Amino acid sequence: MSIMQMNGGSVIAMVGKDCVAIASDLRLGNQSLGISSKFEKIFPMTDRVYVGLPGLATDVTTLHQQFRYRLNMYTIKEEREIEPETFAHLVSSTLYEKRFGPYFIEPVIAGLQKTPSGDLKPYIAATDLIGCLNFAKDFVVAGTASDKLFGVAEGLWEPDLEPEDLFETIAQTLLNAVDRDAYSGWGAVVYVLTKDKVIKRELKGRMD
């Protein structure tokens, strides 16, 4: 019994053309026993920074609250909203603080970053459970179905996808990966972040 696989769950984030997507399953389990099919692991931190927290479910809640607290303090002090890259470093240092007694979570960050010229640039990143940042150009995955997600995403993803195509790509990647993972699934949720709006869609998937 591994702590990282006790509750199950997977998250993936992908870059598109002027947009990003982040998606996760909805299962909460206790080993093989399913407890809830409405356990969300993706949380909006600002209007254009989202974080996915797959791993030990108690730490999903604890870390979400921790990030919310630190973000509020940041927003008050800086009098502005946090940028995705800054938030990724906040995640990283929060996790590394507990280097020798870690939170059992592998966060995935997706957002739209302000460039000096004022445009919004897609940003995705993931860290391991002690906060080692992995900033990728294409996609990042985490959770109990991570190997499956890698395989499908590597096959389906292509550069410069428009929001609707990106949605289709990330949805298909997630759905087909979690269907081969006993610890993930039980429904899914996808967020697509674009310049002017955030689209949230709950997916119907296999419930076994």
Partner 1 sequence: MPDGSFSNPQQRQFNPYSDNGGTILAIAGADFTVIAGDTRQSEGYSIQTRYAPKVFRLTDRAVLAVNGFAADGNMFVKKVKQRLEWYRHAHAKDMPLRAIARLIQTMLYAQRFFPYYVYNILGGIEEDGSGAVYSFDPVGSYEREACRAAGAAQSLVQPFLDNQIYFKNQAAAPNQPHPAHLPLSDVLAIVIDSFTSATERHIEVGDGLEIYVVLAKGRSVQGLEGVRSIQELSTKSDGDRVFVIRRDLKKD
Partner 2 sequence: MDVSFAITGKGYVIIAADTTAARSIIKMKSDEDKIKVLSPHLLMAYSGEPGDTVQFAEFIERNIRLYHIRNPHPLRPQSAASWIRRSLADSIRSRRPYAVNLLVGGYDPAEHAPHLYWMDYLGTMAEVPFAAHGYGAYFALSLLDRYHDPEANLEEGIATLKKCIDEVAQRLVVAPGKYKVKVVDKDGVREIEL
Q: How far is the CB of 34 from partner 2 (least distance, A)?
A: 8
What part of residues 178-207 is at the interface with partner 1 (CB under 8 A)?
179-180, 205
State which residue, 78 or 147, has the beta carbon closest to partner 1: 147
Identify the CA nearest to 53 among candidates 39, 71, 70, 34: 39
Interface with partner 1 includes 154 (CB under 8 A)? yes
Which x/- pattern, by CB under 8 A, does the window 73-112 give for partner 2? ----------------------------x-----------
Q: Distance of CA 23 to CAs 1, 45, 81, 98, 170, Å?
A: 26, 15, 23, 26, 7
Identify the three-state secondary structure at position 76: helix
Span interacting with partner 2, options 8-16, 52-60, 179-187, 198-206, rule CB under 8 A: 52-60
Strands of the sheet with 198-203, listed across from one edge: 139-143, 10-15, 19-25, 188-194, 198-203
Between CA 21 and CA 70 the distance in angstroms is: 24
First to last CA, the chain: 21
Of 137, 189, 149, give the one whose Cα is nearest residue 12.
149
The yes or no reply on residue 164 touching partner 1 (CB under 8 A) is no
- Rounded CA-CA distance 159/88 in Å is 23
Q: How many residues form the binding site for partner 2 (CB under 8 A)?
A: 16
* Least spacing, CB of residue 86 vs partner 2, in Å: 26
Binding residues for partner 2 (CB under 8 A)? 7, 28, 30, 33-36, 38-39, 56-58, 61-62, 65, 101
Point out which residues bind partner 1 (CB under 8 A): 147-148, 150-152, 154-156, 172, 175-177, 179-180, 205
